[in-house]
Amino acid sequence: MRSNWFPILLFFIITIIIIQKIFDSTPHPEKNISLLDNSCWTGAGKYQISIDSTGKLILYGRNLIENTAYYLGPKGTVARISNGMNCQNCHLEAGTKPWGNNYGAVASTYPKFRERSGMIESIEKRVNDCFERSLNGKSLDSLSNEMRAIVAYIQWLGKNIPKNQKPKGTGIVDINFLQRAADPEKGKIVFQQVCEKCHGKNGEGQLNPEGYGYTYPPLWGDHSFNIGAGLYRLSRFAGYVKNNMPDPTNYHNPQLTDEQAWDVAAFVNSQPRPAKDLNKDWPTVKAKPFDYPFGPYADNFSEAQHKYGPFIPIKSFKIN
């Protein structure tokens, strides 16, 4: 009896094993969705750049992003048109870090219309905005080798992104609003505990050993970004801090709460910094972002509330 049943039993066991292997190797929609929900765009590294003539230009563009001050800072070897900060002080890891104000969606979305200028902007225009605002400097000649290299690098990073698509993880994350206004005094405590060791007691940053740029950038003062920079909007600074500071924090393991991020952003952006003529910004007043800190506005909320919040009432306000 045992010998008669054994082949049948063995057949069923083998069949079950085969079916299980087939099931395990078949994609499960719920697993794929989970992976997509938890993954973010990350830019390619410099060792993935080709070694041909095109790659040489792209690599120069990356070097300009990483070491802007060396080439274009106050002691620049090519020109002297910026404040000593590097592009990657704001666009982390040469613009490749998830939620690190990266360049992932630039090539796919530009040229595009921007409400701030009221016109269609090219990548070159967007780059020069950073030079004039975040680097508090002068614009690059759009035909210069340096501009060609920066644009080539940005386009290379985004070459696999479909047109008009913005992958998860690009730019800066939108963090939850507070029920109250962001508090610079509470933010000062966060700054002293977390940020001061790198950025200095007075937000002055730390110069690199060679003295031509910053290892840790200044957060306010004459050598920091001016009032026209994107990070002067509180939501942009708070979102940037949330997933990136203190370095090398990332979105998998943030060190600050949302509340701390908003408050430290309020503290930093309450400090003095270079001015800029903003008269041509936001020609359509009702298009101004909820946290744009300069009037006039299409609502009745004050400049202080537009700068520090609470933002929920502003976002809820309907502009006709």
Structural domain spans, the chain: 46-157, 184-316
pLDDT score, position 278: 98
pLDDT band of residue 8 (cuts 50, 70, 90) is low
How far apart are alpha carbons 247 and 234 in whole angstroms? 19
Burial (0-12, 13-18, 19+ Cβ within 10 Å), 208:
middle
CATH of domain 46-157: 1.10.760.10
pLDDT band of residue 6 (cuts 50, 70, 90) is low
Query: Do 179 and 310 touch, CB atoms closer than 8 A?
Result: yes
pLDDT higher for 87 or 24?
87
Q: Do domains 46-157 and 184-316 have the same CATH topology?
A: yes
Residue range 60-87: mean pLDDT, rounded? 98
Q: Among 163, 159, 174, which Cα is nearest to 112's? A: 163
Which tens digit of pLDDT belongs to each residue from 220-245? 999 999 999 999 999 999 999 999 99
CATH of domain 184-316: 1.10.760.10
Residue with tokens 């505990």: 193
Q: Give ∠ CA 84-184-88 in degrees, rounded to 5.
A: 25
pLDDT score, position 318: 74
pTM for the whole thing?
0.87
pLDDT score, position 37: 46
pLDDT at 169 over 60: yes
pLDDT at 29 over 50: no
How far apart are alpha carbons 144 and 167 in whole angstroms? 30
